[in-house]
Amino acid sequence: MQLTNYSIAHSFEFEYVKNDKVRVTAKCKHPSCRWRVHCSRVGLGPYFQIKSLNNIHSCGGGISTNGHPRASQRWVGEITRTKLIDTPLYRPIDIVKDVFRDYGIQLPYHKAWHGKEVACKDLHGDESLSFDNLRWYADAVMATNPGSYVELECTPNDHRFRSFFVCFGASVIGFETGCRPLLFLDETFFKSKYQIILLGIIAKNGDEGFFPLAFSVVDEETEDNWTWTLTCLKKIISTDQTITFISDRGKGLMLAIPGVFPTSHHSYCLRHLKMNFREKLLQLLDVAAYELKMEDYTRALTHMSRYSEQAAKWVDDSDPNHWANALFSGERYGEMYSNYDESFNSWILEARNLPIIQMVDHIRIQMMEMMYRRRNESSNWETFLCPSIMEKLQKIQADSRGLQVRCSDEVHFEVRGRRNEAVNLIERTCTCRRWQVYGLPCVHACAAVWKINGSIHEYCSHYFRTDLYRQAYAAAILPVVGDQRTEGEESNIIIKPPLTKIRPWRKTKNRIASQADPDAVTLYRCSRCKGFGHNRKTYRNPIA
SS3 of 475, please? coil
57 Cβ partners below 8 Å, 6+ apart?
Answer: 12, 28, 30, 33, 34, 35
Q: pLDDT digits over 189-211, tens only?
A: 887 778 789 999 999 999 999 99
What's the average model confidence in pLDDT over 175-193?
Answer: 88
pTM for the full model?
Answer: 0.80
SS3 of 177, please? helix
Going by the DSSP 8-state scheme, the letter that residue 240 receives in this structure is S
- CB burial of 79-97 (b: ≥16 within 10 Å; e: otherwise) equals bbbeebeeebebebeebbe
Split at pLDDT 50, 70, 90, the class of 496 is: confident
What's the average model confidence in pLDDT over 231-248?
Answer: 90
CA–CA dist 136, 523 (Å, integer):
43
CA–CA dist 300, 287 (Å, integer):
7
Is there a contact between 333 and 438 (Cβ–Cβ < 8 Å)?
A: yes
Q: What is the CA radius of gyration of the chain?
A: 31
pLDDT at 490: 55
Task: Please determine, for residue 482, whether its predicted confidence score (pLDDT) is greater than 80.
Answer: no
Task: Please determine, for residue 503, whether its predicted confidence score (pLDDT) is greater than 70.
Answer: no
Task: Please determine, for residue 355, whether its predicted confidence score (pLDDT) is greater than 60.
Answer: yes
Greater confidence (377 vs 48) lies with 377
Which of 48-62, 148-162, 351-365, 366-380 shows the lowest per-residue confidence on average (mean pLDDT)?
48-62
CA–CA dist 436, 433 (Å, integer):
5
Nearest C-alpha neighbor of 544 from the set 532, 530, 533? 530
pLDDT at 183: 95
- CB burial of 145-162 (b: ≥16 within 10 Å; e: otherwise) equals beebbbbbbbeeeeebbb
What's the average model confidence in pLDDT over 430-455?
Answer: 94
CA–CA dist 242, 262 (Å, integer):
10
Q: What distances in angstroms separate CA 48 from CA 9, 19, 37, 227, one per listed residue?
A: 20, 12, 12, 60
Which of 83-97, 205-219, 520-534 shows the lowest per-residue confidence on average (mean pLDDT)?
520-534
Split at pLDDT 50, 70, 90, the class of 506 is: low
Task: Please determine, for residue 488, whether its predicted confidence score (pLDDT) is greater than 50.
Answer: no
Which of 18-32, 243-257, 298-312, 495-509 shows the lowest per-residue confidence on average (mean pLDDT)?
495-509
Beta strand segments in 228-368, E: 244-247, 265-268
Residue 128's identity, in one-letter code, is S
Q: Give the containing element (helix H, strand E) for 121.
A: helix 109-124
Going by the DSSP 8-state scheme, the letter that residue 503 receives in this structure is P
